[in-house]
Structure 1
Amino acid sequence: MTWISVDEIKRDLLGYLQRVEAGETLIIIRGGKPIAEIKPTLKTPNISRPFGLCTGEFIVPDDFDEPLPENIISEFQGK
């Protein structure tokens, strides 16, 4: 972990972000006290979900795209 001041990170933000991308964790300090931590995000594997994953688990009703009845719209509007 590297401790850097707010002024230092302002001067070279891109450089410090490149260090974070490389795996380094930075602690930002102001007045000698830590105020923030910048660390690399966890890399998630790029796994695509299979097409038709839930096939047969539910049926979309024929009236799915029809307007809602007035009583339901009124309830959403708090009437």
Structure 2
Amino acid sequence: MTTVTIHKAKTELSKLIARVEAGEEIILARGDKPVARLVPMTDTKPVIRGAGSLAHLLGKIPDSFFFDPLPDDELEAWEGKYSFDGEK
């Protein structure tokens, strides 16, 4: 790994990028203190994600669970007709 000052990196940016493209890692330093690292890009293909941890439920929950109207007591609770202590 090569360490380069920020001032030198500004004047030689194209050369440094070419070195990074070739696989080299370069540390950028402000004076003697390292502050950043130039590294080659890894595979940039998008990650295709699956259904997740609830995939086993797909197709098992009936449509009525989502589309049937709520019972009156639940609807009243959503509308704020109950207090938090359970009294009307």
Measured against the shorter chain, the TM-score band is: 0.5 to 0.7
- How far apart are the structure 1 equivalents of 2:7 and 2:38? 15
User: Which runs of structure 1 show a deviation greater than 4 angstroms over 4 or more consecutive aligned residues?
Assistant: none
Equivalent position of 1:12 in the other structure:
12
Q: What is the SS of the residue equivalent to 1:40?
A: coil
Work out the percentage of aligned pairs sharing the same amino acid. Answer: 40
Relative to the length of structure 1, the TM-score reads 0.53
Give CA deviations for 1:28-76 in whole Å, capped at 9, x if unaligned.
001200000010011356xxxxxxxxxxxxxxxxxxxxxxxxxxxxxxx
Please name the residue that 1:70 is paired with.
Answer: none
Q: Secondary structure at the match of 2:23?
A: coil
Bigger Rg, structure 1 or 2: 2
Paired with 1:33 and 1:44, the residues of 2 have a C-alpha distance of: 30
Q: Which has the higher contact order (CA 8 A, sep 6+)?
A: 1
TM-score by length of 2: 0.48
Which residue in the other structure is 1:67 paired with? none
Task: Show structure 1 runs of 5+ residues with no match.
Answer: 46-79
Unaligned runs of 5+ in 2: 46-88
